[in-house]
């Protein structure tokens, strides 16, 4: 009797050691079995509806061949986006820093707070029209949304969780087993399928109904879905577009680019000795101080501004572009050089032009996007 017991104990200890060893490096492999999900019916292909104005958009849609949009994948991705069990102590989700009501940004904070309340090192980015982008994060460190989603979960300043533990928590929930069974029949619940689902949801975050969209759309015969630009905002756009005044369009696009970014990485002269930026990824000195040119959509909800959240208002941003640009090195974009004062001039705007420009920037805000019930849990 005694002997039997000790054998059982040895067996239990040994098998739990095996489980531990198996879990150290990678996600546990566990195919999803969903009895109620006949796999031939799932998942259901989803066709994303883009705003009519985006037909003029030349950037291709980035949907990887191995992760097409599906009804079940998007629904699962949304659930996971609001899932706090993705963090070490089950306290924060992606949505804690990317709040739908703030254009998926954490408005008001220069640096977001991680799972134990620790401040981060860089300003959180709004998640808007990412389906058009092919590099993510301020320094371009991720090449797809699937790859990007791996980072915040494990990041010591963000969710601080091990992927293997996320997989264990999600696998233990029968509702998720059902959801994964429908979205990814016969695949495992692991970092691959979790990030695939998150990326699918993120690709549906399309914003295209601002007064500026309605105004420029109407010019090409699209029926406006809301108000168009006011006279003040139109004057502001003229300042934005004019190479001798705002000259913003070289990097942030114009009326034929409804995403208001050219998707490049540029050094816009914020500092005399800039942070490494893109150079952290490419290791090229030439890329020091280059950061992702952000979309100017929904700025009303995304203050403070720039990668380190240094400006609290759009007035401060505009003032920076007028007389604050630092001639920081040969890396500064050629489209910024004429503002550095190096040639003895900066860009001077009248008070009226400045306030018109700020009014135009605010008119790139899409109120339908920040209240869209499809983007809420």
Q: Which residues bind ligand HEC (CB under 6 A)?
A: 86, 92, 94, 96-98, 112, 114, 120, 122, 124-125, 127, 130, 136-139, 145, 148-149, 152-153, 158-159, 198, 202, 246-248, 250-252, 266, 268, 270, 291-294, 296, 299, 302, 305-307, 314, 317-318, 321, 333, 335-336, 361
| Contacts made by residues 117-122, CB under 8 angstroms, sequence distance 24+ | 118/157, 119/157, 120/157, 120/158, 121/157, 122/307, 122/308
* Alpha carbon distance 255, 215 (integer Å): 9
In the bound state with ligand HEC, the residue whose beta carbon lies nearer, of 30 and 84, is: 84
Q: How far is the CB of 266 from ligand HEC (least distance, A)?
A: 4
In the bound state with ligand HEC, the residue whose beta carbon lies nearer, of 74 and 248, is: 248
Q: How far is the CB of 198 from ligand HEC (least distance, A)?
A: 5
* Alpha carbon distance 217, 129 (integer Å): 17
- Phi (first) and psi of residue 126, to 5 degrees: -65, 150
Q: How far is the CB of 225 from ligand HEC (least distance, A)?
A: 24
Rg (CA), the chain: 24
Q: How far is the CB of 153 from ligand HEC (least distance, A)?
A: 5
In the bound state with ligand HEC, the residue whose beta carbon lies nearer, of 34 and 265, is: 265
Q: Which residue in this structure is represented by tokens 């030349």?
A: 58
Q: How far is the CB of 123 from ligand HEC (least distance, A)?
A: 6
CB 182 within 8 A of CB 37: yes
In the bound state with ligand HEC, the residue whose beta carbon lies nearer, of 52 and 109, is: 109
* Alpha carbon distance 71, 84 (integer Å): 22
In the bound state with ligand HEC, the residue whose beta carbon lies nearer, of 18 and 271, is: 271
**CA distance to 125, 260, 269, 330, 348, per residue, from 338 (Å):** 28, 22, 11, 13, 12
In the bound state with ligand HEC, the residue whose beta carbon lies nearer, of 202 and 213, is: 202
* Alpha carbon distance 293, 156 (integer Å): 26
Q: How far is the CB of 273 from ligand HEC (least distance, A)?
A: 13
């Amino acid at each position: 009797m005694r002997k039997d017991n000790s054998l059982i104990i040895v067996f239990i200890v040994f098998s739990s050691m095996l489980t531990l060893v198996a879990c150290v490096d990678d996600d546990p492999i566990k195919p999803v079995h969903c009895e109620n999900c006949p796999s031939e019916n799932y998942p259901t292909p989803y066709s994303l509806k883009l705003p009519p104005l985006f037909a003029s958009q030349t950037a291709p849609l980035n949907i990887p061949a191995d992760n097409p949009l599906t009804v079940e994948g998007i629904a699962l991705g949304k659930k996971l986006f609001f899932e706090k069990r993705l963090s070490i102590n089950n306290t924060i989700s992606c949505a804690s820093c990317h709040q739908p009501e703030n254009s998926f940004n954490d408005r008001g904070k220069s640096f977001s707070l991680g799972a134990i309340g620790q401040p981060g090192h860089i300003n959180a980015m709004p998640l808007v029209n990412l389906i058009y982008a092919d590099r993510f994060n301020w320094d371009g460190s991720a090449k797809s949304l699937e790859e990007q989603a791996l980072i915040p979960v494990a990041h010591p300043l963000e969710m601080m969780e091990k992927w293997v533990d996320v997989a264990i928590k999600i696998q233990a929930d029968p509702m998720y087993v059902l959801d994964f069974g429908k979205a990814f029949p016969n695949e495992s619940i692991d970092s691959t399928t979790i990030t695939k689902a998150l990326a699918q949801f993120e690709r549906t975050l399309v914003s295209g109904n601002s007064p500026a969209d309605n105004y420029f759309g109407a010019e090409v015969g699209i029926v406006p879905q809301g108000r168009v630009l006011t006279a003040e905002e139109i004057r502001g756009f003229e300042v934005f577009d004019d190479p001798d005044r705002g000259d913003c369009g070289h990097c942030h696009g114009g009326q034929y680019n409804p995403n208001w970014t050219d998707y490049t990485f540029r050094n816009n002269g914020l500092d005399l000795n800039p942070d490494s930026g893109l150079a952290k990824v490419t290791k090229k000195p030439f890329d020091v101080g280059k950061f992702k040119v952000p979309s100017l959509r929904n700025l009303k909800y995304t203050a403070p501004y720039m990668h380190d959240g240094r400006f609290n208002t759009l007035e401060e941003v505009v003032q920076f572009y007028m007389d604050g640009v630092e001639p920081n090195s040969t890396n500064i974009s050629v489209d910024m050089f004429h503002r550095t004062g190096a040639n003895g001039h900066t860009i001077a705007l009248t008070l009226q032009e400045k306030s018109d420009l700020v009014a135009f920037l605010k008119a790139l805000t899409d109120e339908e996007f920040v209240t869209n019930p499809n983007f809420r849990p």
